[in-house]
Amino acid sequence: MIKPTEYVSRIKPYVPGKPIEELERELGIKDSVKLASNENPTGPSPWALQAISNSLNSLNRYPDGSGYYLKNALSEKLSKNPPLPSDKSPFPPLTKGGGRGITYRVSTEEIILGNGSNELIDIAVRTFLGPGDEAVMAHPSFVVYSMAVQSVGGGGVQVPLKDYKHDLDAMADAVTSKTRILFIANPNNPTGTINTRTEFDRLMERLPDGMLVVVDEAYHEYVTDPEYADSLKHFRAGRDILILRTFSKIYGLAGLRIGYGVARQDIVAEMNKIRAPFNTNSIAQRAATEALRDEEHVNRSREINEEGKKFLYQELDSLGLKYIPTETNFIYMPIEQDSKTIYEALLKQGVIVRPIGQKEIRVTIGLPEENKRFIEVLKAVLSE
């Protein structure tokens, strides 16, 4: 009987959540609320939807393997780096932090597209790390990092969070001559915390040349803290850094699977060697190009998220529940009860959250009515 490689046989399988329809059928419930995967509850941009319907007639053709138009749109957007949020937003434009308001030229040769940023994590690992090599990552953080590293026979060195944040000093201490990659989720999933510019700059000063820093910024567009680290600065300074972003979160296109990476041209060229020629599909490329232009949709999504955050903070405060202030579209809650028990009790009432570890849950900030429903059901479950 065929056997997987030794490396793959050691991986604990990722257990995907059941489709919402399946859960509803099993539990005999209707109108459940999915607050488990940090998706944008407002839906995709109408411009993206229009682009999708315009693309349907050409589905007999292969996509553009180079992603020409999307990479050009990204290059233009990143190079202009318009201050976010927009002037019309109730939130003041940020002039520092996150590279916002600061211009860095990013050429199309410095961009790589992926089937979700998830695929780019895999490609980066397969390009730069081999059997016996190590990757340093935080714990808890995005689980895909360690799975990708294990799949090629590498070892993951997990550094515990400190105050729910990446402990970048401890992560720098964990680097050895075997380290090829250091992963940072900024903001972090599941805790929603960020690392500041000062912390990140200090880390970059300490790291040796010849290892890749992967900065996963899947939730970048939600961040409002002006102290947010500026990873593009280090890319532009020529460092070994890969910045990952996605259309799955604020852009509302998780189902299409498209994300991108920014890195030096030679890093992108090496990763392109093992990228499947048509890894991103034509619908996703076109929808993402339009979503990128629709700043109003992004700003509205951010505003709805900020309002939802405020509401949830107030309600959780009044219930005396602990939560970690978030820079994302989800909230991490250390609880007193067993997380699986609470998760299942919420599920039975039609609210799907994510249990994390033994005594934590993570809830995605939803639409106002979804947030209200979560709070009502949580109250009921906790008083049982």
Q: Is 214 in the site for ligand PLP (CB under 6 A)?
A: no
Provide CB contacts within 8 A for 74, sequence distance 6+. Answer: 106, 108, 111, 260, 292
Least CB distance from residue 103 to ligand PLP, whole Å? 25
User: Tokens 């996703």 sit at which residue?
Assistant: 284
Rounded to whole angstroms, the Cα distance separating 360 from 337 reads: 8
State which residue, 40 or 282, has the beta carbon closest to ligand PLP. Answer: 40
Least CB distance from residue 313 to ligand PLP, whole Å? 21
Q: Is 284 in the site for ligand PLP (CB under 6 A)?
A: no
User: Across the strands, what pairs with 136?
Assistant: 157, 182
State which residue, 236 or 245, has the beta carbon closest to ligand PLP. Answer: 245
Identity (one letter) of the amino acid at 269?
A
Stretch that binds ligand PLP, among 45-53, 116-124, 277-285, 367-375 (CB under 6 A): 116-124
Q: Which of 40, 117, 279, 326 lies at the binding interface for ligand PLP (CB under 6 A)?
A: 117
Element (H, E) at 158: strand 155-160
Q: Is 242 in the site for ligand PLP (CB under 6 A)?
A: no
Query: Helix, strand, or coil here: 270?
Result: helix
State which residue, 85 or 116, has the beta carbon closest to ligand PLP. Answer: 116
Q: Is 192 in the site for ligand PLP (CB under 6 A)?
A: no
Number of residues that bind ligand PLP (CB under 6 A): 13
68 and 75 in contact (C-beta within 8 Å)?
no
Q: Is 364 in the site for ligand PLP (CB under 6 A)?
A: no
> Does the CA dihedral 321-326-329-333 come out positive or negative?
negative
Q: Is 41 in the site for ligand PLP (CB under 6 A)?
A: no
State which residue, 193 or 299, has the beta carbon closest to ligand PLP. Answer: 193
Q: Which of 40, 75, 118, 195 lies at the binding interface for ligand PLP (CB under 6 A)?
A: 118
113 and 285 in contact (C-beta within 8 Å)?
yes
Q: Token pair of 321, please?
A: 């529940």
The CB-side HSE value for 322 (13 A sphere, CA atoms) comes to 10
Please identify the residue of the shown chain whose CB is closest to the bound ligand PLP: 116
Q: Which of 27, 29, 102, 254 lies at the binding interface for ligand PLP (CB under 6 A)?
A: 254
Least CB distance from residue 379 to ligand PLP, whole Å? 28
Q: Is 116 in the site for ligand PLP (CB under 6 A)?
A: yes
Stretch that binds ligand PLP, among 42-50, 96-104, 246-254, 283-291 (CB under 6 A): 246-254
Query: Helix, strand, or coil here: 187?
Result: coil
Cα 119 to chain centroid distance, Å, stands at 12
The CB-side HSE value for 151 (13 A sphere, CA atoms) comes to 15
User: Across the strands, what pairs with 246?
Assistant: 259
Q: Is 195 in the site for ligand PLP (CB under 6 A)?
A: no
At residue 8, what are phi and psi to the nearest 5 degrees?
Answer: -70, -35
Rounded to whole angstroms, the Cα distance separating 236 from 87 reads: 27
Stretch that binds ligand PLP, among 84-92, 114-122, 195-203, 295-303 (CB under 6 A): 114-122
Q: Which of 55, 127, 150, 189 lies at the binding interface for ligand PLP (CB under 6 A)?
A: 189
Rounded to whole angstroms, the Cα distance separating 361 from 340 reads: 9
Least CB distance from residue 328 to ligand PLP, whole Å? 8
At residue 6, what are phi and psi to the nearest 5 degrees?
Answer: -55, -40
Least CB distance from residue 13 to ligand PLP, whole Å? 17
Q: Is 321 in the site for ligand PLP (CB under 6 A)?
A: no
Least CB distance from residue 63 to ligand PLP, whole Å? 17
| CA dist 249 → 121, 158, 183, 288 (Å) | 17, 26, 19, 12
Stretch that binds ligand PLP, among 115-123, 223-231, 285-293, 316-324 (CB under 6 A): 115-123
Q: Is 39 in the site for ligand PLP (CB under 6 A)?
A: no
190 and 359 in contact (C-beta within 8 Å)?
no
Q: Is 142 in the site for ligand PLP (CB under 6 A)?
A: yes
Residues that bind ligand PLP (CB under 6 A): 38, 116-118, 142, 185, 189, 216, 218, 246, 248, 254, 259
